[in-house]
Amino acid sequence: MAFRLGILGAGNISDTHARAASSIPGVEVVAVHGRNRERATRLAGAYGAAVFDSLDGFLDHPMDAVAIGSPSGVHAEQGSLAAARGLHLIVEKPIDVTPARADLLIDAAARADVRLGVFFQDRVQPDIVRLREAIASGRIGRPLVASARVKWYRPPEYYSQSHWRGTWALDGGGALMNQGIHTVDLLQWLLGPVRRLSATTRTALHKIEVEDTVIALLEFDSGAIATLEATTAAYPGYKRRVEISGTEGTLVLEHDRLVRADLRLPADDLVADVAPDSNQSASSPVVSDARGHQRLLEDFVDAVHAHRDPICTGQDARKSVALVCAIYEAAKSGRWVEVNRE
């Protein structure tokens, strides 16, 4: 029997969810609901799915799970309604826009005994998994210092043609909460919890109510330190780059590819020969390669069948929202902020 997936949202990322789902044998996109009726109808038509004007009608349609790609600030509200109907949930990042709202969704899924996963596809990208294993096995020695740069560009119409992007209520922030949060999650996944941080933000270019530029300094429990930059104002947009140096060498990631391994011991197995990088995320909100989403969705479907946690749980995803909110607090206060783990 097919695994029946509903698509909640009709924007660029919901198209990515549908493309990823349609590439998985045994998974069928059966229903679509989005605020924009025209786009929802077009998306549903591409996959032979039913389209619904109302959220209630959508949630009442026979299906097993919902992929939520609606504005970030309604993820908890919509996801809780879906969970109450016994539907499993896989939610686009961020899980919602505050830790408290993340908790609402986590608690709703737990009460309904449904699986809750979040699209942090870095966790299933082969090169990033290999990088994490190299760090965990001690190949770079003790991690000392890292730098993470998300110097992307979005044109003015990216914000002006959206009712929710660039707002506190529905986007939860700007370049950090929307674009940079993948790298926030990645740093914690690779280096462990952050103890304290300082930061500064600017609305440097775009006419939005949130930041389009942020720089943060992070101190980890391990003693490692890192700088984090995120912006949507760096024309024309550059590859996300993460460099991690330890006592035994340095690893460098661009987008989702491990491009350098400068270690004291041989590291020929770490950097593989790959095709040219076609990732356009630095300059476009459209996900050109849906394979990361597909891998994460494949794991989620298996987690539902096996009654286990998915690779990225709601609790995992909450950590990145908490860290982003701590960065905003530090920027607003001008002081170092201790990161609240609760």
Q: What HEC string does the chain produce?
A: CCEEEEEECCCHHHHHHHHHHHCCCCEEEEEEECCCHHHHHHHHHHHCCEEECCHHHHHHCCCCEEEECCCHHHHHHHHHHHHHCCCEEEEECCCCCCHHHHHHHHHHHHHHCCCEEEECHHHHCHHHHHHHHHHHCCCCCCEEEEEEEEECECCHHHHHCCCCCCCCCCCCCCHHHHHHHHHHHHHHHHHCCEEEEEEEEECCCCCCCCCCEEEEEEEECCCCEEEEEEECECCCCCCCEEEEEECCEEEEEECCEEEEEEECCCCCCCCCCCCCCCCCCCCCCCCCCCHHHHHHHHHHHHHHHHCCCCCCEHHHHHHHHHHHHHHHHHHHHCCCEECCCC
CATH assignment of 3-122+291-312, among 3.40.50.300, 3.40.50.2300, 3.40.50.360, 3.40.50.720: 3.40.50.720
Handedness of CA 272, 275, 279, 283 (dihedral sign): positive
Model pLDDT for residues 157-181, shown as the tens digit of each residue: 999 999 999 999 999 999 999 999 9
pLDDT of residue 274: 60
Query: How far is the C-alpha of 87 from the C-alpha of 331, rounded, in Å?
Result: 38
* Cα three-residue angle 333-336-337, rounded to 5 degrees: 85
For the entire predicted model, the pTM comes to 0.95
Question: How far is 293 from 295, CA to CA, in rounded Å?
Answer: 6
- Between CA 324 and CA 330 the distance in angstroms is 10
CB-hemisphere CA count at 13 Å for 190? 34
For position 121, what pLDDT does the model report?
Answer: 96
Please state which of the four CATH numbers 3.30.70.920, 3.30.70.1150, 3.40.50.970, 3.30.360.10 is assigned to the domain occupying 126-282+320-338.
Answer: 3.30.360.10
User: What's residue 273's pLDDT?
Assistant: 64
Residue burial 131-146, b: 16+ Cβ < 10 Å; e: rest: bbebbeeebbeebbeb
Tokens standing for 214? 């942020």
Residues in the chain, overall count:
342
Predicted local distance difference test score (pLDDT) of residue 278: 66
Distance of CA 219 to the CA centre of its chain: 22
Residue 334: its pLDDT value, please? 97
Which residues of the chain fall short of a pLDDT of 50? Answer: none
pLDDT at 276: 64
* Cα Dmax for the chain: 60
289, exposed or middle or buried, with CB in 10 Å at 0-12, 13-18, 19+? middle
Q: What's the confidence (pLDDT) of residue 266?
A: 84
pLDDT at 281: 77
**What is the domain partition of the chain in residue ranges?**
3-122+291-312, 126-282+320-338
CA 282 to chain CA centroid, Å, is: 15
Of 83, 42, 80, the closest CA to residue 65 belongs to: 83
Residue 127 to residue 150: CA distance in whole angstroms: 18
Closest CA to 56 of 8, 101, 15, 10: 8
For residue 288, what pLDDT is reported? 73
